[in-house]
Structure formats: C-alpha cells, structure tokens
Amino acid sequence: MKNLFIVIFLFTSFLTGCATTNQRVLDSGNETQLQKRSYQSRIFDTTDKEKVLRATISTLQDLGFVIDRADLVLGSVSGTKLDGHQIKITVSVRPKGSDRMLVRANAQFNITPIEDPKHYQDFFSSLEKSLFLVAHAGE
C-alpha cells in the first residue's frame, strides 16, 4: 500500500510539473499578427499566378536559395539557403480580388522566425524588379 501511495504521489507530481511549464506554443511575440502580415505581404497588379510564381522562383534563386518545393496549384514556393547558417523561406501566391495577386513570404533563420521587416522589404523589392523584367522582356 505504501508503494502504491509513492507511485501515485510521484505520478501526480510529474503531471503537475508538466502542466506548469511556462511555454507558449503559439506565441505572437511583441507584434500582432496583423502587423507581421503587413510587412510579410505585397499585392501585385496582375492576374497571372504562374508569372508571379516563376518570378518568385527566379528571385529566390538570385538571392542564393535552393528551391525545395514549388506548386502552381497551391501557389507556394519553398526554398533553403545555407550560408554558414540555414535560412528557410516559404512564399505563397493567391488571387486578391479579380485583378491582383497577394504574395506573402515567411522566413526562418535556423529555427527562429525572421521578424525584421527590412528583410521582407528587400525580398519584395527584388521580386518587383523581377516581375518588371518579365513584363517588359518582349519590348
């Protein structure tokens, strides 16, 4: 009987210890999700999803990323850059209304989300140039 009491005590202590950890799985950090979404997203005036995805792939490759996955149907591209550390990025493209495309990028440095807006601004600036070049290639 005494052994049973010890086992129950240890088991409940273990469960209580696990339940009181202060880890937040879906931590939004200091910024709201809306603020993050605002610098991780851009809207482009085109209806050609394939053109935007191809420009995204080209831009990522120009920035040194190796494309891991690209899916036209889902509208997503994932890439990895190894430069003494690992940077992963996923870019999704979806229609926004009837005449525009919404592009959203989400990047990680090792396992930490990249939350500096400048990195996303640099990516979108490169993507804009790539889309411009594609649009004016025939002129």
The topology under which CATH files domain 30-135 is TATA-Binding Protein (3.30.310)
pLDDT digits (tens, 9 = 90+) for 96-131: 999 999 999 999 999 999 999 999 999 999 999 999
Pairwise CA distance, residues 40 & 42, whole Å: 7
Question: What does pTM read for this prediction?
Answer: 0.73
Write down the domain spans for the chain.
30-135
Pairwise CA distance, residues 40 & 48, whole Å: 20
Nearest to 53 by CA among 4, 102, 120: 102
Is residue 93 within 8 A of residue 75, CB to CB? The reply is yes
Please compute, for residue 53, the number of CA atoms within 13 A of its CA located in the half-sphere on the CB side.
19
What the block records as the tokens of 91 is 């870019």
